[in-house]
Amino acid sequence: MPETKPFAYCDQLVKQFEAVIQKPIPGRSSFYYTGVDLGTACVVLTVLDDTRKPVAELTATPMSSAMEWWWTT
C-alpha cells in the first residue's frame, strides 16, 4: 500500500472545504454538524450537512467585520 493512499480521503475533504470557503452550498439537510475552532489569531466555524460534507465555513479574525461588530456591541 503506497503511503499517499491513506491521505486520499483527507485531500478530498480539504478540497471540498476550499470550495465552500469560496461558495457555500445552499440546500436543505435534515440536520447539520457544526464545529468551532477558537484559535489564538482567529475563530473558525465549520458546517457539515447530514452526509458530513462541508457546506459552509466562516473565519473571523480580530480585523474582520464580524469581530469588529462583536467588539463594538
Domains of the chain, first to last: 5-72 (3.30.420.40)
Residue 4 in 3-state DSSP? coil
Instruction: Return the bridge partners of 60, or none.
Output: 43
Q: pLDDT averaged over the chain?
A: 79
pLDDT at 69: 46
Strands (E), the chain: 33-38, 43-48, 54-60
Euclidean distance between CA atoms 26 and 28, whole angstroms? 7
State the pLDDT confidence band at 70, using cuts at 50, 70 and 90. very low
Read off the DSSP letter of residue 29.
-
| Percentage of the chain modeled with pLDDT above 70 | 78
Euclidean distance between CA atoms 48 and 70, whole angstroms? 25
State the pLDDT confidence band at 34, using cuts at 50, 70 and 90. very high
